[in-house]
Chains A and B, each alone.
Chain A
Amino acid sequence: MELLNRYVQAVAHYLPAEQKQDIMRELRANLLDELESLGINASNPSDSAALTTFLQRQDHPQRIAQSYAPQYPLVASEDMGLYKTIVLKGLLVLFVYAAVTAGSYLINAQSVNAIAFILVVLSSVWDNIGVMLIGITATFYFLGKSGYLAQWRYPSWSPETLPPTNAQRISTSDGISDVITSVFGLLLLWTPLWLNEEAYNSLILGIAPNMEQWRIILTTVMTGSLIAAIYRLTQTYWTRWSMGAYIAEYLIYISVMLTLWSLPPLFVVNNPIATKLTPIIEQIFTHGWLVGAGIFVLITTSEVRKWRKL
Chain B
Amino acid sequence: MTEERQHKLRLELRRGVLVLAVLGACKTPQYGYSLRQHINDAGIDIDEGTLYPLIRRLAEQGLLDSEWQKTDGRDRRYYQLSQMGSDTLTQLTTDWQHLNRCLVQILGTEE
Contact = CB atoms under 8 A, between A and B. Distances in A.
Contact of A33 (B32, B53, B56, B68): B32
B77 interface: yes
A29 B49 contact: no
B77 A64 contact: no
A33 B49 contact: no
A63 to B, nearest CB: 8
A15 to B, nearest CB: 12
B77 A32 contact: no
A26 interface: yes
Contacts of A67: 49, 53
Interface residues of A, number: 15
A58 B32 contact: no
A29 B75 contact: yes
B76 A29 contact: yes
Contacts of B74: 29, 32
B77 A58 contact: no
A59 interface: yes
Contacts, number: 38
A99 to B, nearest CB: 50
A109 to B, nearest CB: 60
Nearest to A23: B56
Interface string B26-50: 0000011110010000000000110
Interface in A14-28: 23, 25-27
Contact of B33 (A37, A59, A64, A68): A37
A67 B33 CA distance: 17
Interface string B52-65: 11001000000000
A23 B53 CA distance: 9
Nearest to B77: A26
Top 9 A-B residue pairs of the complex, sorted by shortest distance between their CB atoms: A33-B33, A67-B53, A30-B32, A68-B53, A30-B52, A26-B77, A59-B49, A29-B76, A29-B75
Given A26-B52, A29-B77, 6 more contacts: A29-B31, A30-B48, A37-B37, A58-B48, A59-B49, A68-B56
